[in-house]
Structure 1
Amino acid sequence: MSTESQSTAEAVSRPQAAARPFQNLGIIIPTWKAERHWADLERALAMQGLSPEQVLIIDSSSPDRTCELARASGYRVVVIPQKEFGHGRTRQAAIASMPPEAELLLYMTQDAVLDSPDSVCNLCAAMNDPEVGAAYGRQLPRAEADAIERHARLFSYPDVSQVRSFESRHAVGIRAAFLSNSFAIYRRTALEAVGGFPSDVIFGEDSYVAAKLLMAGWKVVYQADATAVHSHAFTVRQEFARYFDIGVHHDREAWMLEAFGSAGGEGQKFVRSELAYLNRHDRSLIPLALVRTATKLLAYRLGRHWRRLPNAWNCRLSSNPVFWQAS
């Protein structure tokens, strides 16, 4: 098989309708103050043909009505203290609450809204190949997204599916290990074979596992016809914090860059693509985009040098202060 396939029809076949209702599938959604998203989340899940009992909500002691609404929807609910949440640790712990027949584990975030009645079905199709350890779907921009937010989704989530192996690193570098737990599915046996989600990552538990899977000989699929609406209008401050955490993650998990290559080439490609897109769609946003680019670069470099900074600074610069408070 070629290093990278861009034929959805050949590489990732669509399952027949008889494959429903996904008896071997479990859905895990970590939540925190999800009440404002609940109507959209529940509606989108309901149209997938799933049983409510297949959905596990793992909530970080939300002060709103998240748990009440989840139970009313028929979902199973596990509540943990907010201070115990960790991007990898919480997702890994949730597996213990899934029945043994749930060989496929689908992870979502509370603000990812499935875009089609076939979103879950199409994502499950990627797992028809027994060599696939994980797959993730296409994330579409919100209707109200500006050109910067829209481009970010179009760049990272194109309309053509891909199948990646460890050999793909020669063509796309660290991008080969890209995966997003906002809408992703894992083969349970594959996830367990590589040690599951790490308990001590600040960020990027999904790409961490994708890299481990690829290195162990599994394939990772990007399934473009499995769609969810999920994008954010990050402020400059929020984007700074996010890229600071990415820098920290890449320093702490240096093996990923050693195995797949640095993120620099992908970043340059993104900037060129963004400027070209804004030139076509909204030139007034180009100055802001340049400021954001400089901010992200500074934040990433600071993150790579987190060991030289006082812990209080790291806590203040990060989007995940709980991580530093527990350090």
Structure 2
Amino acid sequence: MTLAIIIPTLRAEQDLQRTLPCISKVVDVALIWTVDSSSEDGTLSICKSYGVNTYVIKRADFNHGGTRNLARSLVQADILVYMTQDAVPASEDFIEKLLIPFQDPQVAIVYGRQLPHPGAGPLEAFPRLFNYPDHSFVKSKADLPRLGIKTFFCSDSFCAYRATAWDAVGGFPEHTLTWEDQHIAARLIAKGYKIAYAADAQVYHSHSYTLKQEFQRYFDTGAFLNGERWMQELAGGAEGEGLRFLKAQIKYLQNTGKTSLIPYALLATAVKYAGYRVGQLEPYLPRSWKRRLSQQSYFW
């Protein structure tokens, strides 16, 4: 199988200094493509020094779905590996392990394991441990009654797509606020394809968010799902997943002796829920409010 690695970039100078050396060790640089949103730092210089393919767009033209679609139009490959600029490979076989599940012709998406960065605090580490367990599995339409909307979960921070399946559903949504990866996953599941999780394919990728950022992220999620009700009709609502996360997080903090962080975890959950619910009111909010409430202010 031929492959292409696609990385959208913006002010990625520091990130690429960590990621490109790792990727270029195991993949021919001719297979690496960056789509840059007119970075003003040294991003383009670093890409040039490594010899990777670089396509520059205006910053105002960036969209999570449309920009990734543009990148797909530039490449010819059987497998499209999408990464974010700050996803750092954890081993040299990270691509090799990611490709193994494609031996099943019904597998359309394979996403890898995202590990918390070394030194990450418990509140930063736990979401990665919750969403990316240490065992591999495959999800299909048959799992919808059991997993609900979690059936669609995957992340194009480190994710591979079978090009024929990607093309069959028209790729990512062209203009989307967030969740472009789960949007295409839902459409592929609905068509009978499978999604595989490869726990042995690993990158370091985690974030520590402020309460404001958490509100904004979940505002975007609520606004997105409100406009894509078919996903919830297909799989059920998303609010039950948040409660499951909170229960698991409290147990994790208790087991690791970090009970002092439980009040903050409860506060963060309330902030997330508030953001989600306000996001569902998006059609009724003035544009100026949306720009302040969203993490993607340029979208509005």
TM-score (normalised: structure 1): 0.90
The residue that corresponds to 2:218 in the other structure is 243
| 1:265-300 deviations in Å (ceiling 9; x for gaps) | 211110000011111221121111111000000000
The residue that corresponds to 2:11 in the other structure is 33
The residue that corresponds to 2:181 in the other structure is 206
Q: Which amino acid aligns with 1:299?
A: G
The residue that corresponds to 1:163 in the other structure is 138
Is 1:270 the equivalent of 2:245?
Answer: yes
Give the whole-Å Cα distance in 1 for the aligned partners of 2:299 and 2:32.
Answer: 27
Q: Which amino acid aligns with 1:25?
A: L
Q: Aligned match of 1:70 in 47, 56, 60?
A: 47
Q: Which amino acid aligns with 2:198?
A: Q
Question: What SS does the corresponding residue of 1:163 show, helix, strand or coil?
Answer: strand
Is 1:61 the equivalent of 2:38?
Answer: yes
Is 1:234 the equivalent of 2:219?
Answer: no
Q: Aligned match of 1:172 in 142, 147, 151?
A: 147
Query: Percent of pairs identical after alignment?
Result: 42
| 1:155-187 deviations in Å (ceiling 9; x for gaps) | 000011110111111111000000100000001
CA contact (8 A) 2:17 2:46 kept: no
Q: Aligned match of 1:98 in 61, 69, 75?
A: 75
Is 1:84 the equivalent of 2:61?
Answer: yes
Tell me by how many angstroms 1:46 deviates.
2.3
Q: Which amino acid aligns with 1:312?
A: S
Tell me by how many angstroms 1:129 deviates.
1.0
The residue that corresponds to 1:284 in the other structure is 260
Give the whole-Å Cα distance in 1 for the aligned partners of 2:140 and 2:123.
Answer: 30
Give the whole-Å Cα distance in 2 for the aligned partners of 1:44 and 1:129.
Answer: 28
| 1:88-130 deviations in Å (ceiling 9; x for gaps) | 000001111103xx11000000000011111110001111111
TM-score (normalised: structure 2): 0.98
Give the whole-Å Cα distance in 2 for the aligned partners of 1:271 and 1:133.
Answer: 31
Is 1:313 the equivalent of 2:268?
Answer: no
Q: Aligned match of 1:294 in 265, 270, 289?
A: 270
CA RMSD in angstroms comes to: 0.8
**Number of paired residues?**
299
Question: What SS does the corresponding residue of 1:87 show, helix, strand or coil?
Answer: coil
Q: Which ranges in structure 1 are unaligned for 5 or more consecutive residues? A: 1-21
Give the whole-Å Cα distance in 2 for the aligned partners of 1:136 and 1:143.
Answer: 21
Give the whole-Å Cα distance in 2 for the aligned partners of 1:25 and 1:260.
Answer: 31
Q: Which amino acid aligns with 2:34?
A: I
The residue that corresponds to 2:87 in the other structure is 112
CA contact (8 A) 2:169 2:188 kept: yes
